[in-house]
Chains A and B, each alone.
Chain A
Amino acid sequence: MSSSTELKLPPNNYLHDGYGWKSWLLTRDHKRIALLYLAAITFFFIIGGAFAVGIRLDLATPAGDMVTDDTYNKLFTMHGVMMVFFFLIPAVPATLGNFLLPLMIGAKDLAFPKINLASWYIYMIGSLFTLYAIIAGGLDTGWTFYTPFSTAASTSAVLPAGLGIFINGFSSILTGLNFIVTIHRMRAPGMTWFRLPLFIWAHYATSIIMILGTPVVAVTLVMVVAERAFHFGIFDPAVGGDPVLFQHLFWFYSHPAVYIMVLPSMGIISELIAAFCRKQIFGYTFVAFSSLGIAVLGFLVWGHHMFVAGESVYAALVFSLISFFVAIPSAVKVFNWTATMYKGSVEWATPMLYAIGFIGLFTIGGLTGLFLASIGIDVHVTDTYFVVAHFHYVMVGGTIMAYLGGLHYWWPKISGRMYPERLAKIAAVIVFVGFNLTFFPQFILGYLGMPRRYHAYPPEFQLLNVLSSAGASILAIGYLLPMFYFAWSLRYGPIAGSNPWGAVGLEWNTTSPPPTLNFEETPVVTWDAYEYPTPVEGHVA
């Protein structure tokens, strides 16, 4: 598309609809709110990443001589809290989901634009509380806030951190609520449920988890705060309370929360594979329902976090079995993606590289999840680096790969401009290599028995730890590069045009960037998702 440099951005696009800070901070436009979220979560990703740098630096030597054990406890806690609650959970739904959901179903906005803006402010207020906790001495409970340590023993800033996460939960609930109502009520004429892009199905399933799971962790944190601040006794063994009840309530949300991170990512992958293989997703209905299946099963497996915490052996058996069942809908997705690619004319653009990376890393993360679902193996590797490696393969190898892939794919729609393709491909490879070098050694470390959450370790583990730390610095470069070239492209990137990938989907049927109300005229849909009848020519290679 050499002629594209002569094009101009459409004059009435949403980025030109007001320029002052008020036009952003008081906007009701889902696209601008998505960008507010994008800026915020990028900020918290950097903060969470900085804590990870501290962890990996300390672990480069066995002696644990860089930071004290107390400081180390705070580093991994604040890394976890920032990354889980303020980056991974909102990462895809609040940014790409917010931006794309109305566009993909042919709506002018989300059902409740003011609530959407409110959810961002709630998120920011929650984050301020948590940032305050970091400044006021930090937090050392682990991101899981286990009682009675968090309610009685810890001397760190549990109250502001707990309140911050409690508040933040409501932004998640409101986003889920908004999405559910929007998908039910705001679809364009002809956009039936089975014409919806799989990205929408994934977000629907995610929203169900958000509205059902988040309130439970919220009220659990209320009880923790009441116990810590007013010396109520609910989980406190000193008055006959049960700390394991806390774990049940916490994981009732926090296991499904993994699917808040992964399901929307899977939605992205479906879009990327269809677009770059120019094919209808094989087994569309199966992929759509597998999202709902994961959402439902995800609520029935929380006990696999408590195999060694004193739950009944029968409960453990059932939780183990159902955890295995989660593999079925997950595998349905992976098999259908692979089947879609089979004999497709795959185009190896940057987003597709991320999609392939996602499938590989998510598969490893998922399969090692089955190891952990087996009670015998779990007892052996509980609280070791095997667990750490497993969930980083799912949440970083899965969610962040898909998030970056989606960001590249829809960047031309968001900004109206292309990112530098060659540099982006290099960055994608760096991310993939850096990621595996960081986390694969941790599987071995865990299997050999290195426990998590210690700042020092026996010297025989040093080689693998040095590899991991080296990988982390490569990974950091891979994450920093897109931040720079996306910023660069805002000004210097070639004009993308409305459909640079030659993809189908309503979001490509409007200008890039779209006007504030998304479409000049409400679209009428007469086709199925991903209808690629003939190969499309002239797209950017």
Chain B
Amino acid sequence: MPEAVLHEHHHPPALAHHFENLEEQHTAATLGMWVFLVTEVLFFGGLFMAYTLYRHWYPAAFMASSHELDITLGATNTAVLIVSSLTMALAVHAAQEGERGKIMFFLVVTMILGLAFLGIKSVEYMDKFEHHHVPGASFHFDDPALQQPAQIFFSLYFVMTGLHALHMIVGLGLMTWMFIWTKNGTITKDYSSPIEISGLYWHFVDIVWIFLFPLLYLLGRHI
């Protein structure tokens, strides 16, 4: 990498004091994000474990509960997130090319899509409140035989999608931060790793949804 050699003696401003060069700093940051994502896999893994157990115990209740979810809104949200992954990838590409305007444009589009996802999600949540599908004392399920295990389904639904939404909100915070860093010139062609690792995070959050959508919305549906 000729640029790195060139900059070594000038000590580029983005280089932290304890790294030898930008290359080392970049690989450390990337590895750090991957390790963090491994942690995240285990974090959601505990929930998937609980889901698997109860899905196995109460298949009828899970299928009936799943039919109460709005598949149109869920599918729309899936599409929204997949497109946001594309725009995020384009932002990363722009960062590697050092094209500031493009980075900012794609970051903003990604953020709009993220907000759209959260908006649709809150419409769904409102609907659950209105239909007494929020677990707790006021929980009501049409089929009284499934009243109890259906409550487990909706408990898992809220914890899983709630934690996913929380990760989306953190992601939006990251995007805002990256937008500021791009605008004030911190992000350069040589120092694009913050955008890259934010992208890794964003893709991970999307992938979690790619698992949640079929597990929660598509049980026993036939097209």
B residues less than 8 Å from A115 (CB atoms)? 32
| B44 contacts A by Cβ under 8 Å | yes
| B170 contacts A by Cβ under 8 Å | no
CA distance A94 to B155 in the complex (A): 36
B residues less than 8 Å from A173 (CB atoms)? 39
CA distance A214 to B35 in the complex (A): 13
Interface pair B42/A112, CB less than 8 Å apart: no
| A219 contacts B by Cβ under 8 Å | yes
Interface pair B49/A181, CB less than 8 Å apart: no
Q: Mark B126-161, 1 if CB is under 8 A from A, else 0.
A: 000000000111000000000011011001101100
Task: Find the residue from A185, A227, A249 having the highest chain B CB count within 10 A.
Answer: A185
Q: Given that A216-B43, A219-B44, A240-B148 are contacting pairs, would A181 and B18 also be in contact in the complex, using a CB cutoff of 8 Å? A: no
Name B's interface SS.
helix
CB distance from B143 to the nearest CB of A (A): 14
| B28 contacts A by Cβ under 8 Å | yes
Contact among B28, B39, B45 for A186, CB-based, below 8 A: B28
Contact among A182, A186, A218 for B43, CB-based, below 8 A: A218
B residues less than 8 Å from A249 (CB atoms)? 46, 49-50
Q: Given that A177-B36, A215-B39, A234-B155 are contacting pairs, would A517 and B53 also be in contact in the complex, using a CB cutoff of 8 Å? A: no
Q: Given that A108-B18, A184-B31 are contacting pairs, would A231 and B36 also be in contact in the complex, using a CB cutoff of 8 Å? A: no
B residues less than 8 Å from A420 (CB atoms)? none
| B222 contacts A by Cβ under 8 Å | no
Q: Mark B101-133, 1 if CB is under 8 A from A, else 0.
A: 000000000000000000000000000000000
CA distance A248 to B43 in the complex (A): 15
| A223 contacts B by Cβ under 8 Å | yes
- Which of A235-282 touch B at CB < 8 Å? 238-242, 245, 248-249, 252
Interface pair B39/A185, CB less than 8 Å apart: no
CB distance from A21 to the nearest CB of B (A): 23
| A222 contacts B by Cβ under 8 Å | yes
Interface pair B18/A234, CB less than 8 Å apart: no
B residues less than 8 Å from A232 (CB atoms)? 135-136, 155, 158-159
| A109 contacts B by Cβ under 8 Å | yes
| A230 contacts B by Cβ under 8 Å | yes
- Which of A165-206 touch B at CB < 8 Å? 173, 177-178, 180-182, 184-186
Interface pair A219/B32, CB less than 8 Å apart: no
B residues less than 8 Å from A227 (CB atoms)? 155
CA distance A432 to B149 in the complex (A): 54
Contact among B38, B39, B151 for A233, CB-based, below 8 A: B151
Interface pair A231/B135, CB less than 8 Å apart: yes
| B177 contacts A by Cβ under 8 Å | no
Interface pair A177/B28, CB less than 8 Å apart: no
Interface pair B17/A108, CB less than 8 Å apart: yes
Interface pair A219/B47, CB less than 8 Å apart: yes
Task: Find the residue from B28, B57, B137, B158 having the highest chain A CB count within 10 A.
Answer: B28
- Interface residues, chain B, with chain A CB atoms under 8 Å away: 16-18, 20, 24, 27-28, 31-32, 35-36, 38-40, 42-47, 49-50, 53-54, 57-58, 135-137, 148-149, 151-152, 155-156, 158-159, 163
Chosen A-B contacts, 9 in total, with CB atoms closer than 8 Å, are A109-B18, A186-B28, A211-B38, A216-B43, A219-B43, A239-B148, A239-B152, A242-B53, A249-B46
- Interface residues, chain A, with chain B CB atoms under 8 Å away: 107-109, 111-113, 115, 173, 177-178, 180-182, 184-186, 211-216, 218-220, 222-223, 226-227, 230-234, 238-242, 245, 248-249, 252, 517, 522
